[in-house]
Amino acid sequence: MLGPPDRQALADQLAARGYLVDDALAMSVFLALRMERPLFLEGAPGVGKTLLASVLAELFETRLIRLQCYEGLDLAQAAYEWNYPRQLLALQAQGHAAGAAADRATDDLYREAFLLKRPLLQAIDAAAERAPVLLIDEIDRADEELESFLLELLGEFQITIPELGTLKARHRPIVVLTSNRTRDVHDALKRRCLYHWIDYPTLATELEIVRRKVPALDDHLRRSVVAFVQRLRREDLSKLPGVAETVDWAEAISHVGGATLDPPTVDATLGLLLKYHDDLERVRGPMVAGFLAEQA
């Protein structure tokens, strides 16, 4: 699955689906596709890491397989497990065999027919007609044991199952891993990937994103909304608003009405941008008025 012929064509096709990329990200995605390597994306929450995988699945008209990582995620939930109830029924159906016949009956229980395929194994399923997009979301939230298991998958696009053998992809999936850097991910995993840091967008890029997502908002209000969010990101807050929050807030402002942003409206809708009580209390009131005065 080579994709568009060059990075500009790729950027144009992503933009046509509502996802804007700069030259650096376009190059990283282009090379990941051409080299058939996993793409490891880090950045603050809300900058579009997860969305990129969805847009790639749309671009290639293929299935998106998502593994949402969390603490305690184990192999049975991430990759595969044996269907023990079905194995037991099969064993009972074969009756009470003896000797070598019993050994063969036991061995016959460990084949693909009795395997429950979870997201990682689904992504390399040789029966699939085309390569899917595999999103391993927030890998930094998973335990280190899962990282170790991923090394074979990311390096060889295969999974070894002790009872069955090695299952290898017929079509290499497009793999996107994301991390919010709640902890460091091991170098061994990163070495198998192309790495890219996604930062908050520039003013011009964020304006274009809001224009596409909230076309009902007039130009003046759009610029005020984006300028306010960009100014907010310069503060030392518990969680800075991402692009998703900007779009949500812009949509809310479009429903509220009015020709300009004013302190009462901003104070009343600030919960769309900030998700921590301390941040809300710090920003509301004089700080909001000061930010709006800077735009005047």
For 227-251, what is each residue's pLDDT tens digit? 999 999 999 999 999 999 999 999 9
Residues 93, 156: Cα–Cα separation, whole Å: 38
Is 1 within a domain?
A: no
**For the chain, how many residues are written?**
296
Question: Are 273 and 176 part of one and the same domain?
Answer: no
End position of a domain, from candidates 197, 222, 243 = 197
pLDDT-derived band at 296 (thresholds 50, 70, 90) equals confident
Which amino acid makes up residue 3?
Answer: G
Q: Is the pLDDT of residue 113 over 60?
A: yes
246 torsion bin: left (phi>0), alpha (psi -120 to 50), beta (else): alpha
Is 85 within a domain?
A: yes
Higher pLDDT, 194 or 92: 194
| C-alpha dist (Å) from residue 292 to 151, 218, 222, 229, 231 | 49, 17, 14, 11, 10
Question: Are 122 and 90 part of one and the same domain?
Answer: no
Q: What is the pLDDT of residue 163?
A: 87
| Coil vs helix vs strand at 42 | strand
The structure's pTM equals 0.89
For 177-190, what is each residue's pLDDT tens digit? 999 998 999 999 99
End position of a domain, from candidates 181, 197, 213 = 197
Q: What is the pLDDT of residue 97?
A: 53
| C-alpha dist (Å) from residue 260 to 40, 244, 284, 291, 295 | 40, 21, 18, 14, 11
CATH number at residue 157: 3.40.50.300
Closest CA to 174 of 55, 68, 26, 262: 55
Q: Is the pLDDT of residue 167 over 90?
A: yes
Question: Are 147 and 13 part of one and the same domain?
Answer: yes
Residues 276, 296: Cα–Cα separation, whole Å: 28
Question: Are 154 and 178 part of one and the same domain?
Answer: yes
Strands 80-82, 115-117: parallel, antiparallel or unpaired by DSSP?
A: antiparallel
- What is the share, in percent, of the chain residues with pLDDT greater than 90? 80
For 43-85, what is each residue's pLDDT tens digit? 988 899 999 999 999 999 999 999 999 999 999 999 999 888 8
Residues 135, 57: Cα–Cα separation, whole Å: 10
Question: Are 183 and 41 part of one and the same domain?
Answer: yes
Is 122 within a domain?
A: yes
pLDDT-derived band at 129 (thresholds 50, 70, 90) equals confident
pLDDT-derived band at 291 (thresholds 50, 70, 90) equals very high
The structure tokens listed for 295 are 């735009």
Question: Are 125 and 57 part of one and the same domain?
Answer: yes
Q: Is the pLDDT of residue 100 over 60?
A: no
Instruction: Give the number of domains in the chain.
Output: 3
Is 2 within a domain?
A: no
For residue 95, the enclosing domain spans 80-115
Question: Are 53 and 139 part of one and the same domain?
Answer: yes
Is 148 within a domain?
A: yes
